[in-house]
């Protein structure tokens, strides 16, 4: 009896040793350029209509991915279903207007509204408070000595490029809200607008907020002059201090909130002796959809990652069929909503189906089919950007580099690990929602932000399938190591949070 107990006790060690001696190359080599091409011409084809979140094309893509997971024999990840549905909300502008001292101004000629940030209301103010740039932080407080509770504030446009990219400047709107303002008007010189205000806002996950933000408008210099008179010239020159103006200001805003449904697609390959620990391989399968009849195909972004996940699932399935299955459970997840603000991965990590504390790593693939024309060093046909391997776990970089050195020998470029990266790439794909909750991650990326990025010309005929296959094989080998090593990855590096987002 004792001898039998000893044998059983030794089995996990023997099994682990056998796994380490197993060469994964025969399974990695099933990830081929031809198979990737075949899948991508479907996923990024005309029938998928650009795969916009919550639209018909995205649902067609989800069905295709589900069919592939089912054909591989993966276990449905969501209690018997391959799809994890979640609600998204989208605002639709009905009407908006601004009136100053009885004069009505026109949308896009003299103002635009933040459709997502504003709420239905008719607001009438007898006073408007000019607050300079509206900054309020440790270095400067433009609200010092002012009472703006329940009032409309008028401020100059900021110079921050991140703010201009995000529209009305969330940090300064937050400062206005903190000080009690209920409406924010930001003066902009870019009127009349060349691009008309979209009647639809961006999609979002949470329809119910803890606090209601001030209604937000960008306004022309004409509106600023109607409120401030000749003082606007002083404000523009930077010589005017905060000041309250008597002006009859009416702000009208009305919208509908539409409830839509999207989904993540999840297939699972159960592990063996460490089956209660998890390795995630992820990519986003949504893209920008279509504008009128123009389709945004999204072949590289992120059709390339999507079909790589399918191929990697096949490689691990073949390993298991050959009796060489992974010790940890593999979770293959393609998410939607990335282009709308990382919505699908945000929903999953807020409602995980598998414990995040038992998720050893997320290997995220977002654009691996092209080359970065701006990369002036090394071999443009044999590299990949590796992002985030230095952010959560000190184990990651060592394992990643050793795996690459042994098998794929790609040039690993760490450009986007730089904390001063102006593109802030680390924060811009789905791995970040895992990382901010403490899960170690690696993000694989080709750096293609060039001529075809977010354009209809991102088509599957432009993909370098041989290079894409090699990059996907690196993900396979790395996942193999993560799935079969004895210990989960350490979580020993303080989490980095985005600044200015």
Greater model confidence, 19 or 355 = 355
Whether 499 is covered by a domain: the verdict is no
- Whether residues 137 and 220 share a domain: the answer is yes
Other C-beta atoms lying within 10 Å of the C-beta of residue 277 = 20
Residue 199 belongs to what domain range? Answer: 90-258
* Residues 413, 466, 402, 268, CA torsion sign: positive
Rounded Cα–Cα distance for residues 392 and 325 (Å)? 27
Judge if 41 and 101 occupy the same domain: no
Residues 464 and 404 in one domain: yes
**Is there a domain that residue 491 lies in?**
no
pLDDT level of residue 18 (50, 70, 90 thresholds)? very low
Cα–Cα dist 88/346, whole Å: 12
CATH of the domain at 399: 3.40.630.10
Examine the domain organization and report whether 229 and 371 are in the same domain.
Answer: no
Lowest-confidence region among 4-18, 131-145, 446-460 = 4-18
458 lies in some domain: yes
Say which residue, 151 or 210, is predicted with more confidence.
Answer: 151
* CA 9 from centre of chain: 45
User: Are 250 and 298 in a shared domain?
Assistant: no
Give dist(CA 395, CA 490) in Å, integer. 6
DSSP, collapsed to helix, strand or coil, labels residue 178 as helix
Residue 10 has pLDDT above 90, yes or no: no
- Residue 297 is classified by DSSP as -
Say what the pLDDT of residue 171 is. Answer: 82
Quote the pLDDT of residue 169: 55
Largest CA distance in the chain: 97
For residues 346 and 459, state if they share a domain. yes
Q: Are residues 199 and 336 in the same domain?
A: no
User: pLDDT tens, 308-357?
Assistant: 999 999 999 999 999 999 999 999 999 999 999 999 999 999 999 999 99
Q: Do 82 and 96 reside in the same domain of the chain?
A: no
Q: Among residues 258, 278, 306, which one ends one of the domains?
A: 258
Instruction: Let me know if residue 398 belongs to a domain.
Output: yes
Q: What is the 3-state secondary structure (H, E, C) of 375-424?
A: CCCCCCCCEEEEECCCCCCCCHHHHHHHHHHHCCCCEEECHHHCCCCCCC
The tens digit of pLDDT for each residue in 52-100 reads 999 999 999 999 999 999 999 999 999 999 999 999 999 999 999 999 9
500 within a domain of the structure (yes/no): no
> Residue 436: pLDDT above 80?
yes
**Whether 328 contacts 481, CB under 8 Å:** no
End-to-end CA distance of the chain: 63
Phi, psi values for residue 345, rounded to 5°: -70, -30
Same domain, 272 and 310: yes
Domains held by the chain: number: 2
**Residue 197 is part of a domain; what is its CATH number?**
3.50.30.30
* Residue 155 DSSP SS3: strand
Residue 58 in domain = yes
Contact 402, 335 (CB under 8 A): no
- Do both 472 and 445 map to the same domain? yes
Check whether 168 has a pLDDT greater than 80: no
Give the SS3 label for residue 19: helix
Q: Answer with the one of 258, 293, 320 that is the final residue of a domain.
A: 258
Residue 355 lies in a domain: yes
**pLDDT category, 4, cuts 50, 70, 90?**
very low
| Residue 455 main-chain phi, psi, to 5 deg | -130, 160
Which are the contacts of 415, defined by CB distance < 8 A and separation ≥ 6? 385, 421, 447
Structure tokens at 495: 């989490």
Residue 494 included in any domain: no
pLDDT in tens, 247-295: 999 999 999 999 999 999 999 999 999 999 999 999 999 999 999 999 9
- Give the per-residue pLDDT at 499: 64
Last residue of a domain, one of 227, 258, 289: 258
The least confident of 152-161, 199-208, 294-303, 327-336 is 152-161
pTM: 0.88
Residues 113 and 135 in one domain: yes
- In order of 316, 382, 496, the CA distances from 409 in angstroms are 21, 8, 29
Using a pLDDT cut of 70, give the percent of the chain over it.
93
Write out the H or E segment, with its range, that includes residue 112.
Answer: strand 111-113
Q: Is residue 95 domain-shared with residue 80, that is, in the same domain?
A: no
pLDDT of amino acid 165: 38
């Amino acid at each position: 009896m004792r001898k039998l107990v000893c044998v059983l006790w030794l089995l996990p060690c023997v099994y682990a040793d056998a796994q380490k001696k197993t060469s994964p190359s025969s399974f990695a080599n099933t990830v081929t350029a031809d198979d990737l091409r075949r899948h991508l011409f479907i996923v990024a084809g005309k029938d998928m209509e650009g795969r916009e979140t919550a639209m018909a094309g995205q649902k067609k893509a989800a069905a295709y991915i589900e069919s592939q997971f089912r054909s591989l024999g993966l276990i449905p990840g969501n209690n018997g279903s391959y799809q994890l549905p979640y609600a998204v909300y989208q605002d639709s502008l009905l009407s908006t207007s601004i009136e100053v001292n009885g004069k009505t101004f026109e949308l896009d000629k003299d103002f635009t509204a933040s459709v997502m940030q504003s709420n239905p209301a008719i607001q009438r103010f007898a006073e408007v408070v000019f607050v300079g740039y509206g900054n309020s932080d440790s270095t400067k407080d433009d609200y010092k000595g002012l009472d703006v509770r329940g009032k409309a504030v008028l401020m100059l446009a900021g110079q921050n490029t991140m703010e201009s990219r995000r529209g009305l400047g969330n940090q300064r709107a937050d400062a206005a809200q903190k000080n009690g303002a209920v409406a924010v008007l930001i003066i902009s010189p870019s009127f009349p607008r060349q691009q008309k205000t979209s009647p639809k806002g961006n999609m979002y996950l949470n329809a119910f907020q803890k606090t209601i933000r001030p209604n937000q408008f960008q306004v022309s210099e004409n509106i600023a002059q109607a409120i401030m008179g000749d003082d606007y010239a002083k404000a523009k020159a930077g010589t005017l201090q905060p000041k309250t103006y008597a002006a009859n200001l009416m702000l009208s805003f009305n919208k509908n909130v539409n409830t839509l449904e999207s989904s993540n697609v999840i297939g699972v390959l159960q592990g063996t002796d460490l089956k209660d620990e998890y390795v995630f391989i992820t990519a986003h399968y949504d893209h920008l959809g279509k504008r009128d009849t123009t389709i945004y195909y999204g072949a590289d972004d992120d059709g390339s990652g999507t079909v790589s996940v399918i191929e990697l699932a096949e490689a691990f399935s073949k390993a298991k069929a050959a009796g060489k299955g992974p010790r940890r459970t593999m979770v293959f997840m393609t998410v939607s909503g990335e282009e709308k603000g990382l919505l699908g991965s945000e929903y999953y990590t807020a409602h995980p189906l598998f414990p995040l504390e038992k998720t050893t790593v997320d290997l995220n693939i977002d654009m691996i089919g092209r080359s970065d024309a701006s990369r002036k060093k090394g071999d443009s046909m044999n590299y990949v950007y590796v992002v985030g391997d230095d952010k959560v776990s000190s184990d990651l970089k060592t394992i990643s580099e050793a795996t690459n050195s042994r098998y794929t020998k790609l040039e690993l470029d760490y450009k986007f690990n730089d904390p001063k990266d102006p593109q802030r790439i680390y924060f811009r794909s789905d791995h970040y929602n895992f990382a901010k909750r403490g899960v170690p991650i690696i993000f694989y990326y080709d750096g293609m932000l060039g001529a075809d990025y977010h354009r209809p010309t991102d088509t599957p005929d432009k993909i370098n399938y041989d290079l894409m296959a090699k990059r996907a094989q690196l993900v396979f080998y790395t996942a193999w190591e993560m799935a079969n090593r004895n210990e989960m990855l350490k979580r020993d590096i303080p989490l980095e949070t985005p600044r200015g987002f």
